[in-house]
Structure 1
């Protein structure tokens, strides 16, 4: 059994509580028996060097950790302090490949040719080992117009790649600031809750900007037994 945590959208600098919320989540994750931690983007809010310096100090763990950029991130600044924009974790029985779906100056996502080529290479390394592909932008609609308008563009490019690699068992994403699940390319998609804030659905609010900072940060806790992915969404109550 592989057990790993999935967090997203810490947005350091995006609110007065952004640092405390991120620190609280990472402290909680350190108490769990995890095999890895993945972070699906929006590490900094304004893509400032000082925000990445703070984030680099927070995103430390005693287990393998992979991070990809989001639309609020600047890849050059990200790579100086966090690491490559495309990162992979290779565990016993599972590969997790996080790809850069950010587009400079744009809120929507897109997987460039070179990024898809990198993904293809990682997925080809261990064709007999199950793999998960992650990125910031969800490849499918989640029923939240505010988010759906800025999801991954041209998702059929990703779908073609996933279908070419039958060892891929799931897709991981962030960006939506809400725990959610959907299917894409015949695979489950797990979207992690936001750390800095929570995005509400149309059933919960009619606000044009449906984001609240009042709910606690959250994370996804994934269990993978070699065939089946089970995901639990958990809040972190800060002290």
Structure 2
């Protein structure tokens, strides 16, 4: 069995609120974030990085970022891998810089980050537009991305942003798109970009831009129902997910991981190993050159 060269965990749209507030999403969103990180630590997966694709907070206040940090920081210290944060339309650049990124400049310029994990490059873009729900990438960001991608990374590049550069299937999502996704596609075309990771729509979705896979994992806070019943304009349900992204030498796999689920059965390691051995024994040999 091929082993992935890199495994990334993607968490999107936690929308952390103040404790004891109205709970717009029907639950304390900090508890959903705690569950996601607990599931990660309890698993056998040891990621190379953890990526947050925007809307870290509901209102972008320093207090909400501090609450977010209080949940995330101990886990980041224990895992000892990079944690990267993309700006969403609910986020605030100055507050996120000050509380999460250790930059007290108060700058409201777009947040552009490059994280390197061995031979893998992760570029985090800022598609937020202050005070608006739609997204766009400034010419300066596209120029910086183009310059960064001019020199390929040994194991390729993962591009991270909040607004997915894809069409939308629901009217609400269609009203808050990433504007000029073709501009991003022109920069990515022919580059070493292996996948684009986004959030924003609160739906697990996959597509492609300029031949590069695009993936959104759903959200922690709520999930948009892509098949709402007749007479219902839109519907949000509680079905929190995160994602694991596995990058192999010649392929990439994005997998949605449901968090709020009923357990059907657990199988111990020995039983699982026997099943895997039996199934692998039934596989025909790979053709020469296959």
Q: What is the aligned counterpart of 1:179 among 204, 209, 212?
A: 204
Tell me the equivalent position of 2:114. 88
Q: Secondary structure at the match of 1:71?
A: coil
Tell me the equivalent position of 1:154. 180
Q: Secondary structure at the match of 2:128?
A: coil
**Greater Cα radius of gyration, structure 1 or 2:** 2
> Aligned residue pairs: how many?
235
2:214 matches 1:189: yes
Q: What is the aligned counterpart of 1:204 among 228, 246, 249?
A: 228
TM-score, structure 1 as length reference? 0.91
User: Is the Cα contact below 8 Å between 2:57 and 2:90 reproduced in 1?
Assistant: yes
2:58 matches 1:45: yes
- Assess, with a 3 A threshold, how the Cα gap between structure 1 residues 29 and 118 changes in structure 2: closer, same or farther: farther
String of CA shifts for 1:125-146, please: whole Å, max 9, x gaps: 5444411111000111131221
Q: What is the aligned counterpart of 1:170 among 162, 176, 195?
A: 195
Q: What is the aligned counterpart of 2:245 among 213, 216, 222?
A: 222
TM-score, structure 2 as length reference? 0.76
Tell me the equivalent position of 2:94. 76
2:71 matches 1:58: yes
2:32 matches 1:21: yes
Return the offset for 1:117: 2.8
Q: What is the aligned counterpart of 1:2 among 3, 6, 9?
A: 6
- Assess, with a 3 A threshold, how the Cα gap between structure 1 residues 22 and 132 changes in structure 2: closer, same or farther: same
Q: Distance in 2 between matches of 1:52 and 1:238?
A: 28
String of CA shifts for 1:24-57, please: whole Å, max 9, x gaps: 1112122332111101000010111110111122
Pairwise CA RMSD:
1.9
List runs of 5+ in structure 2 lacking aligned partners.
18-23, 104-110, 263-290
Return the offset for 1:153: 0.2
